Structure 1
Amino acid sequence: MLLSHFQHTYIEAGCDEAGRGCLAGPVFAAAVIFPPEYCNPILNDSKKLSEKKRMELRPIIENEALAFAVASVSPQDIDKINIHNASYKAMHLALDALAVKAEFIIVDGNRFIPYQDITHECIIKGDGKYLSIAAASILAKTYRDDFMIHLAGKYPSYDWKSNKGYPTIAHRQAVLQHGFTPHHRKTFRVTDPQLKLF
């Protein structure tokens, strides 16, 4: 896991999102700026870490980053502007909220809507390559999980405590049985013909 080659030249923010493929809940994004020479041998792509390890790393990231921010975009906005634009909007909101202004942005994935006049680079599987993107993936994931676990108490039928809004068999069956909540994304499609919702 590396600092990017721009880290020593620019104040660089890493960005990532969580919840893009869910049927319910907001999409979350985070932006993280680390100091030059930052090192953390445990930090990795959030998908490669256990829930316990992600939660252990979250306060470390927040304490050791020069700046960090987390933002979200609602299911209603996702339905209006589509999930891709909503993901970029969440990243932009996170960048807006940084206490330190970024001079360069690295983003997990292959697409990004430019932010202000700041140069960016898209990096496929960047959350497994660069520390700031990995940290952003952990913050976005853990804050979104917390949000969905809180919602699960109000909507126990959908098992959001376990599935976090992702389209598991149980979640899709619950929608068929109980219908939608205000937190479901109405424009999403389920391709499994035996569990088609639309």
Structure 2
Amino acid sequence: MARQRPDSPPLFEIVDYPDFSFEKRAIARGQWPVAGLDEAGRGPLAGPVVAAAVVLDPARIPDGLDDSKRLTLAQREQIFSQILATALGVSMASVCAEGIDRSDIRKASLEAMRRALCGLPLAPKLALADGRDVPPGLPCPGEALVKGDRRSQSIAAASIVAKVMRDRMMTGCGNVDARYGFEIHMGYATARHRTAITTYGAVARWHRISFAPFRNGAAENTPSEDEEQIL
């Protein structure tokens, strides 16, 4: 028997794309400028974690802002250029693989976001951070938004900036050492990357030695398709 559609309307609309509503409420409270914070690169076996802070111009919000993982490479690059051309402030910061190994990826991600916020050319009155945690040590109040890159356009803009900049950094690593294919998988644990690690060992200062499989005995080396064209 087919299930009948209920007559009553839904209690709330499910929104799965970012808007400017969090920022508008902050403006109404007198908290402006508002910066969005996000990071890229928590999961890879190699490379830095990169964070970005973005203060959008409410009158010039780029079209197509979304979670960077839901955009194609071409879309990210196009919107990245629009963000740089229209935003009131953009800043990027990173924590290298050695810094991640000295603490942990969560702390390193939050530290990268803090550095990015502090690098803005204007002083925000509120920071909207993607995730469950507000980075410690911010120079302004912060609010954590779970899945913030799908809820706040400022966070979505930061996610795009962080992703584009990190991908460019990993492409540079691939140009220096072609054995690992960093320019293809961006340091994620694809089959090609794992095979290269098994064959050549880890690259000092590039690979995160505190991550598996390195804890299981992979040797370090010096610098000298694959699955998921990762996000």
Name the counterpart of 1:71. Answer: 93
Name the counterpart of 1:114. Answer: 136
**Is 1:2 the equivalent of 2:22?**
no
Query: Of the two, which has the highest radius of gyration?
Result: 2
Count of residues in correspondence between the two structures: 194
Aligned partner of 2:180 among 136, 142, 158: 158
Aligned partner of 2:76 among 47, 54, 68: 54
Name the counterpart of 2:197. Answer: 175
Report the 3-state secondary structure (helix = DSSP H, G, I; strand = E; otherwise coil) of the residue aligned with 1:143.
Answer: helix
Which amino acid in 2 is paired with 1:186?
A: I
Indicate if the aligned counterparts of 2:62 and 2:86 stay in contact, CA closer than 8 A.
Answer: no
The normalised TM-score by structure 1 is: 0.92
Structure 2: gaps (5+ residues): 1-17, 219-231
Structure 1: gaps (5+ residues): none
Name the counterpart of 1:42. Answer: 64
The normalised TM-score by structure 2 is: 0.80
With 30-39 and 154-163 compared, the bigger mean Cα shift is at 30-39
Indicate if the aligned counterparts of 1:152 and 1:160 stay in contact, CA closer than 8 A.
Answer: yes
Over the residues paired in the alignment, what is the CA RMSD in angstroms? 1.6
Aligned partner of 1:83 among 105, 110, 123: 105
Q: CA–CA distance in 2 between the matches of 1:190 and 1:6?
A: 44
Query: 1:129: how far off?
Result: 1.1
Aligned partner of 2:212 among 158, 173, 189: 189
List per-residue Cα deviations over 1:52-75 (Å, max 9, x = no partner).
110011111011111010111110
Report the 3-state secondary structure (helix = DSSP H, G, I; strand = E; otherwise coil) of the residue aligned with 2:52.
Answer: strand
Identity %: 36
List per-residue Cα deviations over 1:154-198 (Å, max 9, x = no partner).
22111111100011111111101100102000000149xxxx665
Name the counterpart of 1:98. Answer: 120
Indicate if the aligned counterparts of 1:106 and 1:122 stay in contact, CA closer than 8 A.
Answer: yes
Q: CA–CA distance in 2 between the matches of 1:91 and 1:158?
A: 28
Structure having greater relative contact order (Cα 8 Å, sep ≥ 6): 1
Indicate if the aligned counterparts of 1:70 and 1:94 stay in contact, CA closer than 8 A.
Answer: yes
